Structure formats: C-alpha cells, structure tokens
C-alpha cells in the first residue's frame, strides 16, 4: 500500500468484550465471564424480560453502576484506536458489540454500537430513546409518552436484530482493512463480518485477540496477546508503514 492512497483506504474495526477486559469489565465466555454467573436466557432475551423484568433491570442497573465506578477507565487498546481515527487520513469506523462507552471516553468519535448502549434506555411503546445513567425501574414512566410498561435497556438481546446492519455491511464492502479485536467469534452476525469482507472487498483481514477465536482461520493474519499490548503495537505499525 502506498502512502498516497491512504485517504481512500477505509478501516473497519470490530470490537468485543476482550478490549474492555483490562479496563475491569468482564467478558462473556471466558471462564470467569458473565455467562458463567448468570444465564443469558434469563437476562439477555425478550422472553427472559417478559418472565422476570425485575431480574433483567437489576442486571443492567448493576452493570450501569459498575461502568460509573472511578476505576473503570479506557485502556491503551481503546486509546490506540482513538489515535488511529485521528491520524489515519481515510475513514475509520469502530463497530462494537460492547455496550460500554469506553471507546467514546478514549476519544473515538465514529463508533457504532451494534448491540446497543448501556447508558441509553428506550420505550417499547413510543420507541423514543433516552440517555440514562441511573437505575431503570420496572414501572418507570416513559418521559415522552408516559406509559409505564414499555421502558427497557437499549440493548440488543438474543433473538433481536442488531442495529444499523445496512450501514455496517456497506462500510465492510468498501474497506481496505478489517480488524477484529477481543471477540470470541461466537455471536452472529458480527462473527460473519470477516467472511463478508473476504467475499465483497479487496481488504486485509486481521484478528487481535488473547487467543484464536472461533473464526480464526478466516483471517489473513493474527496477533495474539492482551489488547493493551497488541492493539497499540499494530496501530503504530499501520500508521508508520501500513499493513
Ligand atoms: N485482550 C484481548 N482479548 C481478550 C482479553 C484481553 N485482555 N481478554 C479476553 N479476551 C478475548 C477472549 O479470549 C475471547 O476470545 O476476548 C474474547 C471475548 O469473547 P466473549 O466473551 O464471547 O465476548 P464477545 O465476543 O464480545 O461476545 C459477543 O455475546 O453475549 C453476547 O451480547 C454479548 O456482545 C456480546 C456478544
């Protein structure tokens, strides 16, 4: 890749829970992960919410509290991606499966939360969304329509459609570099992005993860190690000499 082409080279970065692990937030499927403590069927499905809305609200309320703790901060992996967006002359889009706000707090601006955002809630009755930093109660009245039975976390649950898929696929199809960071490759559609890129774009594909993901063989290249180490190293490399 020549330097003169850089402004036309867009980069798409898929991130998962692994990038936030060293900031103090648990992943899902590691041995000590969230799904070893609670059943995803209970807290991350529409059926679970219907069965026991209080349990689901409590789960997201406690994660919202945790995100506000003073020691939960963006790490060197998030910061390197923010630097990449600032210094790379072409477009850089982060598509994150994470519902935390650590990419934004590190300085990234072009972030798409395909699984929703912990600090937002929405009303299932009128579809309005609201910034929300405190607890959400089961019979919370919607600030817009006033209904008391529709408020829920703005989080995509299993069985629901991830957000902004048309925009994501359009961007994947014209990217020059696709990076996947800190995701186990268990959950679709995100796990299928690398195959989509390989079919539709003339792009380099790389996985940066602690260990090979489920889809490791689909990537042209891989760097294994903690995100706080491998992400800054790789960002430095591509700003210096491309991929
Ligand atoms: N640095 C890099 N990668 C790490 C680190 C680290 N410090 N720690 C763990 N990892 C890797 C793990 O090896 C694992 O491959 O991060 C990955 C995390 O995988 P998951 O826990 O499955 O998280 P993720 O892929 O983001 O899950 C996808 O599943 O339950 C849903 O909605 C939830 O968005 C989530 C989706």
Residue 237 pLDDT greater than 80, yes or no: yes
Q: What are the pLDDT digits (tens) for 62-94?
A: 999 999 999 999 999 999 999 999 999 999 999
The neighbouring-strand residues paired with 206 are 179, 221
Instruction: Please give the torsion angle defined by the CA atoms of residues 178, 109, 162 and 192, in that order, rounded to the nearest 10 degrees.
Output: 0
171 C-alpha vs ligand 1 centroid, how far in Å?
Answer: 23
Which residues carry out catalysis?
115
107 C-alpha vs ligand 1 centroid, how far in Å?
Answer: 22
- Which ligand 1 atom is the nearest neighbour of the CA of 30? 21
| Closest CA relative to residue 113, chosen from 131, 91, 96 | 96
Residues of the chain with pLDDT > 70, as a percent, come to 98
241 to each of 1, 84, 94, 234, 237, how far by Cα in Å? 9, 13, 21, 10, 6
Residue 228 CA to residue 200 CA, distance in Å, equals: 31
Q: N- to C-terminal Cα distance for the chain?
A: 8
Average pLDDT along the chain: 96
Q: Kindly report the pTM of this predicted structure.
A: 0.97
| Closest CA relative to residue 156, chosen from 34, 26, 60, 78 | 60
Q: Which of 13, 14, 15, 17 to mutate to test the pocket of ligand 1 (most atoms within 8 A of CB)?
A: 17
40 C-alpha vs ligand 1 centroid, how far in Å?
Answer: 15
Q: How many CB atoms lie within 10 A of CB 231?
A: 27
Pocket of ligand 1 (CB under 6 A): 16-18, 21-22, 27-30, 33, 40, 97, 115, 182-184, 186-187, 209-211, 213, 226-227
Residue 235 pLDDT greater than 80, yes or no: yes
pLDDT of residue 7: 86
Q: What are the pLDDT digits (tens) for 207-230?
A: 999 999 999 999 999 999 999 999
In which band, very low, low, confident or very high, does the pLDDT at 6 lie, cut at 50, 70 and 90?
Answer: confident
Residue 96 pLDDT greater than 90, yes or no: yes
What mean pLDDT do residues 163-169 have? 98
Residue 62 CA to residue 165 CA, distance in Å, equals: 28
140 C-alpha vs ligand 1 centroid, how far in Å?
Answer: 32
Residue 138 pLDDT greater than 70, yes or no: yes
Q: What are the pLDDT digits (tens) for 17-66?
A: 999 999 999 999 999 999 999 999 999 999 999 999 999 999 999 999 99
């Amino acid at each position: 890749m020549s330097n003169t082409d850089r402004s036309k080279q867009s980069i798409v970065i898929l991130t998962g829970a692994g990038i936030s692990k060293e900031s103090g937030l648990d992943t899902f499927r590691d041995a000590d992960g969230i799904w070893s403590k609670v059943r995803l069927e209970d807290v991350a499905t529409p059926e679970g919410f219907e069965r026991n809305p209080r349990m689901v609200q409590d789960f997201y309320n406690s994660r919202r509290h945790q995100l506000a703790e003073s020691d939960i901060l963006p790490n060197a992996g998030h910061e390197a991606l923010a630097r990449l967006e600032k210094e790379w002359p072409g477009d850089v889009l982060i598509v994150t499966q994470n519902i935390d706000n650590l990419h934004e707090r590190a300085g990234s601006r072009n972030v798409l939360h395909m699984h929703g955002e912990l600090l937002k809630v929405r009303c299932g009755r009128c579809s309005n969304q609201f910034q929300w930093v405190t607890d959400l109660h089961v019979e919370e009245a919607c600030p817009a329509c006033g209904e008391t039975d529709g408020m829920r976390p703005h989080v995509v649950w299993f069985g629901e459609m991830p957000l902004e898929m048309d925009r994501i696929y359009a961007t994947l199809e014209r990217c020059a570099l696709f990076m996947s960071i800190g995701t186990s490759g268990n959950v679709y559609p995100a796990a299928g992005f690398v195959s989509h890129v390989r079919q539709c774009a003339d792009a380099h594909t790389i996985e940066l993860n602690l260990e090979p993901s489920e889809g490791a063989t689909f990537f042209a290249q891989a760097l294994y190690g903690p995100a706080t180490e491998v992400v800054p190293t790789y960002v430095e490399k591509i700003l210096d000499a491309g991929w």
